[in-house]
Structure 1
Amino acid sequence: MWNDRLSRRRLLASGAQAAMLAACAPRARKAKPAASGVQPFPLEAVRLKPSPFLAAVEANRRYLLSLEPDRLLRNFRLYAGLEPKGEAYGGWESETIAGHTLGHYLSALSLMHAQTGDAACKARVHYIVAELALCQSAHGDGYVAGFTRKSESGEIEPGRLVFEEIRRGDIRPSKFHINGSWAPLYNWHKLFAGLLDAQRYCGAGDAIAVASGLAGYLERIFAPLRDEQVQEVLSCEFGGIPESLAELYARTGERRWLALAEKLYHRAALDPLAEKRDALSHLHANTQIPKLIALARLRQLTGEPAYATASHFFWETVTAHRSYVIGGNSDREYFQEPNSISKYITEQTCESCNTYNMMKLTRLLYKDHPQAAYFDYYERCHFNHILAQQRPDDGMFAYMVPLMAGSHRSFSTPYDSFWCCVGTGLESHAKHGDSIYWRDGETLFVNLFIPSTLEWAERSARFALDTDYPWSGDIRLSVEAADDAPFAIALRVPAWATDATFDVNGEPVPLETDARGYARLERVWAAGDALTLSLPMSLRIEPTPDDPDTIAFLRGPLVLAADLGPIDKPWNEPAPALVANDALAAVKSESAAAAILRTDGAGRPEDLRFRPFFEQRDRRTAVYFKRYTPAQWEEAQAAFAAEQARLAALEARSIDRILLGDEAGERAHDLDADISYAVAYRGRKGRDARTGGFFAFDMTVADGPLILQATYWGGERERVFHILLDGTRIATQTLEGEHPWRFIDVDYAIRPELTAGKTSIRIRFEPEPGHSAGPVFGCQLLRADA
C-alpha cells in the first residue's frame, strides 16, 4: 500500500505517543505556533502545461463561468430582506441546505484566479463578497446565510430561527439535520472557507470583515451553552468549521476565534482517535474527516502536540485499513469494518468529497512531516479518483466513483444537482498546481509529476517540468534561471518504483533515496541544467488487505480497469474473474503508450481489456477481480451450480413476486408510497421508507399455508419497521447488522385466516418513528415448504 514506507519507518510513532487529547475541549491558551516544516509554493507561482490536469482546469473554468452568482446568492438576499436578483437553482440548492454551493463557488473562483490568472473569476469573487457584506449589513448582527429550515408543519422558514432556538437551549439534532435544517454549520463552513480563499487569492479585504462578523454571531450563539449542549449540537454534521475559525485566527490574530475553534471539539468522534482506538466502523465518513483536518491545522497554529495524535492515527487507519485501490473510501458514505474491502466492492463506493478531504488532511500532515509516502497516497487519489470524478467534456462531477464490476459513474447536471461532491469538485479542479512543488529554506521538493512551470521569486529561479507521466516514466526538470547560491532539488521516488534511475545533464548519477523517500542533489544550479528521473512502468498486482485473492492491477501510479462496455448497455453478467496459476504473467501489454493491456486466456467468462480507470468515464468497468487457480475455479463453479438449484426450488414454490425499486414491477403491483425511495445496492434494486413514510403493494394469494419472504442487506443497521397485511401487523423487523456482507431472506408466516377467501392482499412496510424501513430488495409470496 501507499503508506508502507510510513508504517515501516514508524515515522509517526513518537508524535502519536507524545500525548493524548484531553477528555473535553481544551481551554483557550496562549497560542504557540508549531515549528514550520515545508511550505507549498503559492498557486500563483505555478502554471500548468498541457496534460489531463490542465484539461480538467479548463473544463472547470468553463463551467464556473456558466454559473450565475445572483442565482447562488438568491436566498442570501431574500432572507436579508433584499430583493433577489435571480431564481434559485435546482437540486440541493432547492433544499434547506441551499447556500452551501456559494461557499464552494467562492473558493473555486478564487483558486481558479490564482491557478490561471483569470480576471473574470476575480471580478466575480469581489462581486459576491460585496453582496454578502450587503446582506450581512441588512441583518445587523453578523448573521448571513442562504440555508433555510422546515417547520414541523412543513413550512420553509429562515435559517436563523434554528440558531435562535439553539441559543435558548432548544437543540433537536440528528445525524444530518438540526431543528429542521440540513447541516447548517456544515453549510457555514463552506461560506467561511470561501471568504478566506477570496481574501487570500483575490485580495478581497471585505471577506475577512464578513467572516469576522459571522464568527461573532456564532460566538454569541454558543456562549450560553453548557459543554454537554455544545456536544449535542456537534452530533449533527458540522463540516470543518473549527478549521475555518482557526484560520480566521491566523489571519486576524484575534484569539477569540481560536477559543471558539477549540470549543467545537466533538468528543464522541475524537476521543477514541486520541486514545488510538479505531471506532470508525459504521460512522458517516465525510462527517469525520473535516474534524481531523481542523485538529491538524490547530496543531500547526498552537504547537500543541496533543492535536497530532488523533489526526495521524486517523490518517493511518483510513489509508491502511479502509481505502480502496483508487485511494477513496466508504461504502454508501459510511466507513466499513477495518480490513474488509473485499466485502464492500459495490456501486456505492468512494464518495468524492471524502477523497477531497483526505487529500487536504494529507497535505497538512506532510507539511509537518515531509515524507514522500504521503504523496504516494496523494498521487494515488489525484490520478485515480479526482481525475475520474470529472467529465472534461462538460465539467460535470460524479458523487460516487463505483468499483463494482459492471458499474459506472453517474454525473451531475449543470443546474439541477449541486450535491456536496459538485462543490468539492469545483474546488479540486481549480487547483491542480497547488501541491506539485514544495520548499523549505534550502530545498525544492517535487512531489507530483505534472507538466508545469514554477517561478521561485526569492531565488530568481525558474523551472519547467516536462513529462508524459503517467504513460511514460521519464520526468525531466529543467532549470531555466537561478541565482548563484546553492540549494537542493529533491524528487519524490514512489514506493512502487524499485528500479528508478537518475541523471543530471545527461550523465547518470547513482540514485540514493534518502530516509524521506527523495532523490536529492544539492549544488549551484545554472540555466540549462536538467534532472531526469526515470521510473519503471511495470505492471503489478495489489490485493485487498483482507483477501489476497481479490486483486487489482496497477501500472505505475495508474489503476487499471477492465472495459465492460458502454453505459447505455445494461450489465447482467457475473463479475469477471481471473483463472491462472500466475495472474500477473497472464496479462500482456497491447499498447505501452496508452497503458492498455489484455489477459491471455485467463479471463472468465472471456478475456479482458484493461485501460486506465480514470479515463473510462463513459464505460462500465471492473477494478477488482477474484483470482483462482484452475482447481479453485472448478470448486467455485460447483458452488454456483448448487446455488442455482436452490433458487430453482424456491421458484417452484413462488406464487407472486415484486421487484421493489423497479418501475414496471411496482406499477404491476399497484405500489403506493410516501417519503420512500427506490435504491440500488450490489446490483439489486430495492425500496426504503424514511421516518413518517411507508410503501405498500398488492400481491396475489393462493390456498394453503403461505410465507411472505423479504430480502434485506444483512449489514443494515438501526432499522426498525413494521409489516402489515391488509392493515394487520404480522411482524416487526429490526436490522442491526447481524449478517454482514450478504443479502438475507427473512420468512414471515401468514396465518390462514388472513388470506381466506381472498385473491389478493395488500402488504405495507412502515418504519418505527425515528427509524427507516428496509431497504427491501424484493418480496415474494411462497407456499409453505412441505
Structure 2
Amino acid sequence: MNCAAQVVAKAAPTGVARAHPLPLSAVRLRPSDYATAVEVNRNYLRRLSPDRLLHNFHLYAGMTPKAPIYGGWESDTIAGHSLGHYMTALVHTYRQTGDPEMRRRADYIVDELAAAQAKRGNGYVGGLGRKRPDGKIVDGEEIFPEIMKGDIRSGGFDLNGSWSPLYTVHKLFAGLLDVDAGWGNRRAIAVAEGLGGYFERVFAALTPAQVQQVLGCEYGGLNESYAELYARTGNQRWLRMAELIYDNRVLDPLTRQEDKLANFHANTQVPKLIGLARIHEVKGGDPAKATAARFFWATVVHHHSYVIGGNADREYFSAPDTIADHVTEQTCEHCNTYNMLKLTRQLWSWQPEGALFDYYERAHLNHVMSAQNPANGGFTYMTPLMTGAERGYSTVDDDAFWCCVGSGMESHAKHGESIFWEGDDGTFYVNLYIPADATWAKRRAQVTLDTRYPFEPTSTLTFAKVRAGRFPVALRIPAWAKDKAVITVNDEPVTPVLARGYAIVERQWQAHDRIAITLPLELRIETAPGSDQLVSVLRGPMVLAADLGPVAEKWQRADPALVGADLLAGFTAADAATGRYATRGIVRPADLTFVPFYRQYERRSAVYFKRFTDAAWVKEEAAYNAEQARLRDIAARSVDVMHLGEMQPERDHDLKSESSYPVTYRGRQGRDVRSGGYVDFAMKVKPGPLILQATYWGSETKRDFDILVDNVKIATQRLDNDKPGAFFDVSYPIPVGVTKGKPSVRVKIVPHDRNTAGPIFGVRIYTAAAAGVA
C-alpha cells in the first residue's frame, strides 16, 4: 500500500522529542461525520444493558443474574469479552462527551465485578464459558486447574473447550484499567490485581514449554495489561508476568526483522506487538521489543494492507505483497485496524513521524468510519472489498456481539483522541484534520480547528486564547501532497520548516492568531501490492468507490474495469463538496459514479479495478467477461458456502471431525482429513436440483476419499496431480431425493483406508442451471 513514506525499524535518534495526545476530555468535536459517529455510538451504548452483559459473571460466581444473557457470541464460550470492550467504550464516551450516565454505568459494572470476585474468593472473576463433551456450557474457570496440572489442549482458538479464554480475560483487564484511568476508580485496580494474581498462579505452575503451548491459543494483549498494571502500581511481579507472556513462534522472527506473517491469524498477532511496545515503554527502553514493534508495523502497512488501510483476508495474513490475489468478500477485519491504530499512536509518541499518521488517517477515515452504520449504530465484522459485496452490519439484538462489535463500540467513542498532540519540546502538533475545539492546558490555550477536509482542502487552526509566547506549531503534510501544501498565518503566506512530514512554524503566538494549511485534493491512482494491473482511485486521503447500487439489489454483472491511457482524464467532479465524480468513456462495460467508499453503508461498491489499455481490452474483453459471468453465475446460484479451516464459518456450520486439521496453502485455508478420520458439517439447501462443489489444490499426489450428503455417498474423489500449480473446482450433482423437504443437510468427507482426504479448500452448494442454460 503506497500510503506513506517507508518507516523502518530503528531507535529514536537523540534529540527527537516524545509527544503526548491532548486528553480526550480536553477535545470536543464540531459537527462532522466523526461527531455523528460518536453520538450514534453513545446512543448504542445506552441501549445496551450492563446487567445482561454481566449475566455470566453473576451466574458463575453463584449469584443471581439480574437480566437474561445476550445471544450471539455472548451465549458462546467467549462470553464476557463484550463487557470489557463496553467498559472501555463507556470511559471514552464519558471523556469525549461528558455524559455522566457513561461514568455511572462503568462504576456500577466495577462494583458488580468486585462483588462477584469476592464471592468466588480466589481472585478470579469472569464470564467466559467452557463447552463440555455433552455440549453443555459451564463456568470456564474449570479449565484453569486442568491447565495447571499440565492437561493442556490448545489450538489456535480453543483451549480445553473454551473459545480464546485469555483473549476474553485481556478484554476484561483492559476495561478495568481504563475505568481507573478515566477518573481514578481504585476499586477497578483492586479487581484487576486480584485477576492478575489468579493468572500469575496459573502460569507459575507451567514449564516454559507448557507456557508456549498455552500461548498457542489466542490471548489478545494480555502482556499489555500486565505491563500497564505494573505502570499503575510499580509492582515488579506484574512486569515479570508481562514478559513471560511472549509467543516465541511469532515474536522471535519479528525481533530479527523477518516477515513470516503469512498464514498467521492477523488480529491474534497485533495485540502482542502493542504489548511489547508497552513493555518497552514501562521498562525504560528495551531495544529488541521496540525493533519488533516497529518492524511489524512497517511490514503490515507496506506489504500486507489494502487500500483502505485494513489487512487480512478471511482473518489471515497472506504472503507479503499479494493483496491483489486476495480481494474477497472477507477482507479487512475491523479489530485488526482498531489494534493497528493503537500501535501507530504508540510508535508515533516515541518518534513523531508524519508517515505514521498518514497511515492512521487513511485507515481511520476509510476503514473505521466505514465500519459503523450511522443509521442504526451497527458494526461490520469484515469490510469486504470484493466488487459488489455487502458489508453486513450488526444489530443491538441477540444476533451479534462478535469481536468487531466490541472494538467498534470503542473506536467510535473516541474520534477526538488523536487530533492534537504536544511534544515534550513544546511543539503543538495537528495530526488529523477533524473539526474540533480543544483546551491545551500547558499553554492555557483554547484552540479551534475549522475544516471540511477531506471534502475541502483548507484547515484552519485558531488560538482563541493562548498564553502568549514562542513555540512551534507542526501541521502534518501527507506524503501524497508532496510539495503542494500551502501554509498561511493570519491569511499571509509563510515558508515553514519542513521536517519529518510536517510544516513547522515557530513564532510568537498570541490570542486570535490563525494558521491554515491547504492540501491538494487531486485524484490519483494507486496499484495493489502484487499487480500493477489492479488499481484504486483516491482523492487526497479518501478512497473512492464506484457506486453499484443499493444492497437490496444483488450485483450479478461483470466486475467493472478501467480502460484507457489516461484514466484520470475520464473523471469529472459532479459534486466536489461530497466527493462525487462522474466518469466518461473509461469504465467498462459502462460509466459509473465514484463516491467516498466509507459512506457506502448500505450500497454496493467497487474499489479495485483491473486496468487495460484500449488495445489490451480488445483482446481481453471476451475472456474477461466470460470468466466474470461464470463466477457471478455460481455466486448468484449459491445456497451456502463453507470456508473450511476458518474459525467462524466452522462454528456457524457446526463442524464436527476426527483426525481432521486446519491447513493453509498459498494463502487459502482448508482442512485435511487423515486416515481413520472424517469431517462433517451442516449446509443449507433449497428445493430442486443442487450441486456440491469442492475446491482442491492441483498438485496433490494420489489419494481417494468419499463425499456423503446425509450419509448418502454422492462421489468418490481421487486427487492425483490433476492441475499442477493451481487450485481447481470439482462439481458433484446431489440426488434430488437426498435434499427433498429439508432446509439443511450434513456433508461428510471420509478418506479411504490408508488415504487422506483433501485438503479441501472450501465447499459450496448451488442450484443447477436451468435446462438449456450454459
* TM-score, normalisation: structure 1: 0.85
Aligned partner (choices 755, 761, 764) of residue 777 of structure 1: 764
For residue 532 of structure 2, give the secondary structure of its aligned residue in structure 1: coil
Indicate the residue corresponding to 1:705 in structure 2: none
Indicate the residue corresponding to 2:329 in structure 1: 347
What amino acid does structure 1 have at the position aligned with 2:352? P
Instruction: Describe the shift of the 1:543–1:658 C-alpha distance in structure 2 as closer, same or farther (beyond 3 A).
Output: closer
What amino acid does structure 2 have at the position aligned with 1:510? T
What's the CA shift for 1:728?
A: 6.3
What's the CA shift for 1:549?
A: 1.6
Indicate the residue corresponding to 1:670 in structure 2: none
Indicate yes or no: 2:192 matched with 1:217: no
Indicate the residue corresponding to 1:402 in structure 2: 384
Indicate the residue corresponding to 1:301 in structure 2: 282
Instruction: Describe the shift of the 1:510–1:615 C-alpha distance in structure 2 as closer, same or farther (beyond 3 A).
Output: same
For residue 292 of structure 1, give the secondary structure of its aligned residue in structure 2: helix
For residue 524 of structure 1, give the secondary structure of its aligned residue in structure 2: strand
Map residues 216-295 of structure 1 onto 2, 5 A cutoff: 216-295=197-276
Aligned partner (choices 484, 493, 506) of residue 508 of structure 1: 493
Indicate the residue corresponding to 2:293 in structure 1: 311
Indicate the residue corresponding to 1:693 in structure 2: 680
What's the CA shift for 1:710?
A: 3.8
What's the CA shift for 1:482?
A: 1.4
What's the CA shift for 1:264?
A: 0.7
Deviation readout 1:256-298 (Å, 9 max, x if unpaired): 0010010010001111111211111111110111111111111
What's the CA shift for 1:177?
A: 0.8
Indicate the residue corresponding to 2:440 in structure 1: 456
Instruction: Describe the shift of the 1:720–1:582 C-alpha distance in structure 2 as closer, same or farther (beyond 3 A).
Output: farther
How far, CA to CA, are the matches of 1:204 and 1:634 in structure 2? 68
Aligned partner (choices 414, 421, 426) of residue 438 of structure 1: 421
Aligned partner (choices 531, 556, 574) of residue 590 of structure 1: 574
Indicate the residue corresponding to 1:336 in structure 2: 318
Q: Greater shift after overlay, 240-249 or 457-466?
A: 457-466
What amino acid does structure 1 have at the position aligned with 2:491? G
Contact 1:595 1:611 in 2 (8 A): yes
Deviation readout 1:119-152 (Å, 9 max, x if unpaired): 0000001100000000000010100000110112
For residue 128 of structure 1, give the secondary structure of its aligned residue in structure 2: helix
Indicate yes or no: 2:113 matched with 1:125: no
Contact 1:193 1:244 in 2 (8 A): yes
Indicate yes or no: 2:519 matched with 1:535: yes
For residue 432 of structure 1, give the secondary structure of its aligned residue in structure 2: coil
How far, CA to CA, are the matches of 1:721 and 1:219 in structure 2? 47
How far, CA to CA, are the matches of 2:704 and 2:392 in structure 1? 31
Contact 1:699 1:760 in 2 (8 A): no
What amino acid does structure 2 have at the position aligned with 1:196? L
Deviation readout 1:356-397 (Å, 9 max, x if unpaired): 011111111111121000000000011100010001121110
How far, CA to CA, are the matches of 1:148 and 1:735 in structure 2? 44
What's the CA shift for 1:100?
A: 0.6
Indicate the residue corresponding to 1:631 in structure 2: 615
How far, CA to CA, are the matches of 2:22 and 2:293 in structure 1? 24
Contact 1:403 1:623 in 2 (8 A): yes
For residue 766 of structure 1, give the secondary structure of its aligned residue in structure 2: strand
Indicate the residue corresponding to 1:564 in structure 2: 548
Instruction: Describe the shift of the 1:265–1:770 C-alpha distance in structure 2 as closer, same or farther (beyond 3 A).
Output: farther
Aligned partner (choices 572, 577, 588) of residue 561 of structure 2: 577
Instruction: Describe the shift of the 1:530–1:738 C-alpha distance in structure 2 as closer, same or farther (beyond 3 A).
Output: farther
Instruction: Describe the shift of the 1:739–1:246 C-alpha distance in structure 2 as closer, same or farther (beyond 3 A).
Output: farther
Indicate the residue corresponding to 1:704 in structure 2: none
For residue 251 of structure 2, give the secondary structure of its aligned residue in structure 1: helix
How far, CA to CA, are the matches of 1:400 and 1:244 in structure 2? 26
Indicate yes or no: 2:366 matched with 1:365: no
Deviation readout 1:516-575 (Å, 9 max, x if unpaired): 111111122111100010111111111112211211011111100000000000111010
What amino acid does structure 1 have at the position aligned with 2:539? R
Indicate the residue corresponding to 1:6 in structure 2: 6
What's the CA shift for 1:205?
A: 1.3
For residue 538 of structure 2, give the secondary structure of its aligned residue in structure 1: strand
Indicate the residue corresponding to 1:601 in structure 2: 585
Indicate the residue corresponding to 1:190 in structure 2: 171
What's the CA shift for 1:336?
A: 1.1
Indicate the residue corresponding to 1:661 in structure 2: 640
For residue 455 of structure 1, give the secondary structure of its aligned residue in structure 2: strand
How far, CA to CA, are the matches of 1:87 and 1:286 in structure 2? 30
Deviation readout 1:470-498 (Å, 9 max, x if unpaired): 10010000011111332111110111112
How far, CA to CA, are the matches of 1:155 and 1:736 in structure 2? 44
What's the CA shift for 1:44?
A: 1.0
Indicate the residue corresponding to 2:407 in structure 1: 424
Q: Greater shift after overlay, 147-156 or 207-216?
A: 147-156
Map residues 13-52 of structure 1 onto 2, 5 A cutoff: 13=10, 37-52=18-33
What's the CA shift for 1:39?
A: 1.0
Indicate yes or no: 2:748 matched with 1:765: yes
What amino acid does structure 1 have at the position aligned with 2:118? S
Indicate the residue corresponding to 1:56 in structure 2: 37
What's the CA shift for 1:711?
A: 3.6
For residue 523 of structure 1, give the secondary structure of its aligned residue in structure 2: strand
Indicate the residue corresponding to 2:74 in structure 1: 93
How far, CA to CA, are the matches of 2:716 and 2:384 in structure 1? 35
For residue 59 of structure 1, give the secondary structure of its aligned residue in structure 2: helix
Unaligned runs of 5+ in 2: 643-651, 657-668, 740-745, 770-774
Aligned partner (choices 369, 383, 396) of residue 365 of structure 2: 383
What's the CA shift for 1:5?
A: 2.0
Q: Greater shift after overlay, 502-511 or 210-219?
A: 502-511
Deviation readout 1:628-680 (Å, 9 max, x if unpaired): 11111111124347769999xxx9xxxxx9955189xxxxxxxxx97259xxx
Indicate yes or no: 2:637 matched with 1:675: no
Contact 1:466 1:476 in 2 (8 A): yes
How far, CA to CA, are the matches of 1:517 and 1:235 in structure 2? 39
How far, CA to CA, are the matches of 2:268 and 2:722 in structure 1? 21
For residue 578 of structure 2, give the secondary structure of its aligned residue in structure 1: coil
Indicate the residue corresponding to 1:703 in structure 2: none
Deviation readout 1:686-731 (Å, 9 max, x if unpaired): 999997634599999xxxxxxx9844175999x9974248766964
Contact 1:243 1:294 in 2 (8 A): yes
Deviation readout 1:50-77 (Å, 9 max, x if unpaired): 1111000000000101111010001001
Instruction: Describe the shift of the 1:721–1:92 C-alpha distance in structure 2 as closer, same or farther (beyond 3 A).
Output: farther
What amino acid does structure 1 have at the position aligned with 2:366? N
What's the CA shift for 1:6?
A: 3.1
Q: Greater shift after overlay, 634-643 or 221-230?
A: 634-643
Unaligned runs of 5+ in 1: 19-33, 652-656, 664-672, 678-685, 701-707
Instruction: Describe the shift of the 1:676–1:128 C-alpha distance in structure 2 as closer, same or farther (beyond 3 A).
Output: same
What amino acid does structure 2 have at the position aligned with 1:5? A
Contact 1:463 1:480 in 2 (8 A): yes
What amino acid does structure 2 have at the position aligned with 1:329? N
Give aligned-pair identity as a percent. 48
Q: Provide the alpha-carbon RMSD of the alignment.
A: 3.6
Instruction: Describe the shift of the 1:613–1:709 C-alpha distance in structure 2 as closer, same or farther (beyond 3 A).
Output: closer
Contact 1:695 1:766 in 2 (8 A): no
Aligned partner (choices 528, 533, 537) of residue 553 of structure 1: 537
Instruction: Describe the shift of the 1:658–1:545 C-alpha distance in structure 2 as closer, same or farther (beyond 3 A).
Output: closer
For residue 201 of structure 1, give the secondary structure of its aligned residue in structure 2: helix
Instruction: Describe the shift of the 1:451–1:267 C-alpha distance in structure 2 as closer, same or farther (beyond 3 A).
Output: same
For residue 5 of structure 1, give the secondary structure of its aligned residue in structure 2: coil
How far, CA to CA, are the matches of 1:393 and 1:622 in structure 2? 22
